[in-house]
Amino acid sequence: MTHRPSQPTRRTVLRATGSAAAIGLAGCLGPSTPANVELPPPDNYEALQEADLPYPIYGEDLPEATVPDVLSDQPVSSSSLVGDSHLLLTFVYTRCNGICLTLASGLVHAQARAAEGGYTDDLSLAVITFDPATDTPETFTDWAADQGFDFDLGNCYLLRPTSPERARTVVEDTYGEAYEKNPDEGMPFLHMGLTLLVNDEGVVERAYAGSQPQPATIVDDVETLVDG
């Protein structure tokens, strides 16, 4: 899939969210399973293929990007987060009091279950902010701690692009998570809400877009990957 740079509008963001919701209602027509995946095709796989979505879907490679990690103060590439482990990747901004909390909750539950199940080393968790102007390293770290991320486990990455322009390139152009400033009162940004579950070969197993699944669903998918 080609990831094309774009200039989103409020209509673009809402249309992407609506498309993801509509696709979620489509039935599986029995597509073949791509190579290098462990989970079965999602029920909406054929509709996803036909939609030409901007984000990577089931069976596609995770796009490559390198972003500084505020916890280690080192640049981290997406390819370095897989290979030895599977990956949950999502995109947030800390002033959000809506879907970003749900996005974080999915990762926090997965991290906790991995610790309980003894497979922490088999799962990495990465959160990329698309509001680096406000989300300073301290603000971002405090927010993640408040959400329940356990930094001591060593499998959590808080990735902060160096500028708003770089954030746009990484989050929207590379990974396909559309966002824009909110012209109305309320939360500063509108965005779709995207979490990617990527296996240890760097192939997307699930793209949870728009309405997010219950954390238990994400945990079940992760454990299926870990169990092989």
pLDDT digits (tens, 9 = 90+) for 129-158: 999 999 999 999 999 999 999 999 999 999
pLDDT band, very low/low/confident/very high, at 35 (cuts 50, 70, 90): confident
Which pLDDT does position 44 carry in this prediction? 84
Residues sharing a CB contact under 8 Å with residue 79, sequence separation 6 or more, in sequence order: 62, 64, 202
Distances (CA, A) of 115 to 1, 119, 175, 227: 35, 6, 28, 15
pLDDT digits (tens, 9 = 90+) for 199-219: 999 999 999 999 899 999 999
pLDDT at residue 120 above 90? yes
Query: Domain count of the chain?
Result: 1
Inside any domain, residue 103:
yes
Percent of the chain residues past pLDDT 90, beyond the cut = 77
Inside any domain, residue 193:
yes
**Which parts are annotated binding residues?**
96, 100, 191
Which pLDDT does position 74 carry in this prediction? 98
> Can you give the pTM of this predicted structure?
0.86
Q: What is the domain extent for residue 108? A: 10-227
**Which parts are annotated binding residues for Cu cation?**
96, 100, 191
